[in-house]
Amino acid sequence: MVLLTGPSANAFRGGYLNVDKPRDWTSTDVVRKLKGITKIKKIGHGGTLDPIATGVLPVCLGHGTRFADMILLGTKEYRITLKLGVSTNTYDSEGDVTAERDFSAVTREEGERALAAFRGKYEQMPPMFSAVKHNGKRLYELARQGIEVERKTRPVEVRRLDLTRWAPPEAELEVECSHGFYARTLVNDFGAALGCGAHLSGLVRTRAGRFDIKDSHSLEEIQEYADAGKWQELAEPLDFTLQHLPSVRLDPLSAEAVQHGQALSVAQFGPPAGTAPGQQVRAYDAESELIAILVFEPDRSGWRPQKVLAAK
């Protein structure tokens, strides 16, 4: 077993585009547009953004769709703009107004104190206008019928939450949070804590895992590169989301066995010292092409192929 330090892809078999999603586009709209631009059929997004939101939308292409779950690892960061004094049924500016209250007496100091309750680990209630399912139906489908049902709270973690601008009726927050966190719910709950209500008026996702907004590309830029026949230059490599895993290079016989779904025994392919059961590794062939994710199961098969990429 040979540890690698930075394998490179020789040809585009798949990867990821870090898209700066425009406002009023759904995540599905973006995928549909990219299918037309890239002519690749197998495309999916990692982590839905509401139409009102802009910013980082990771899009998986080709073999990259096999690792879509890895995009959801790690934290996300958002820049939130909110409006005090007005509550809506969707918790954002797209919804119907449900209440209006005077906010003029609320101070920045009160805002800072109210935010303390939303830092760390706590239980958050998903909004009715969300894609969470209830008895097989999306909550937003029920909400559009005027039906509100009891929902279960979800554990979330907020690692950082800062009040970066206070200019009533507007304010701005920056948050680093776990997967499954609803910025709209934070704003609604923050407004309730202040006693004046609030709704989300703008949202920018500035980071999702390893995908950062400073490295993102607009659809117009991707189209321009496609017109020049080089959109692949904007794509991140297949192993971009896998850098948290150790890497190994397989000899030709072992690589062939793995690509046929065969496990590698501990006897023929011993693990590095200290490898624990359940450890995953990135496996590359002799040409430094990513071919699989292996998982260490010493009591069963040894190194079992968990995800195998089709050969070129």
What are the residue numbers of the active site? 50
Contact assessment for residue 260 and residue 297, using Cβ atoms and an 8 Å cutoff: no
The sign one gets for the Cα dihedral 275, 279, 243, 250 is positive
Measured between alpha carbons, how far is 201 from 187 in angstroms, rounded to an integer? 10
Please name the helix (run of DSSP H) or strand (run of DSSP E) that holds residue 303, with its range, or none: strand 302-308
Contact assessment for residue 310 and residue 30, using Cβ atoms and an 8 Å cutoff: no
Measured between alpha carbons, how far is 238 from 107 in angstroms, rounded to an integer? 48
Residue type present at position 300: R
Q: Alpha helix locations (H) across the chain?
A: 27-38, 68-71, 108-115, 139-144, 183-194, 219-227, 252-259
Measured between alpha carbons, how far is 177 from 164 in angstroms, rounded to an integer? 16
74: left (phi over 0), alpha (psi -120 to 50) or beta: left
Q: Which two tokens stand for residue 31?
A: 């995928």
Measured between alpha carbons, how far is 293 from 241 in angstroms, rounded to an integer? 12
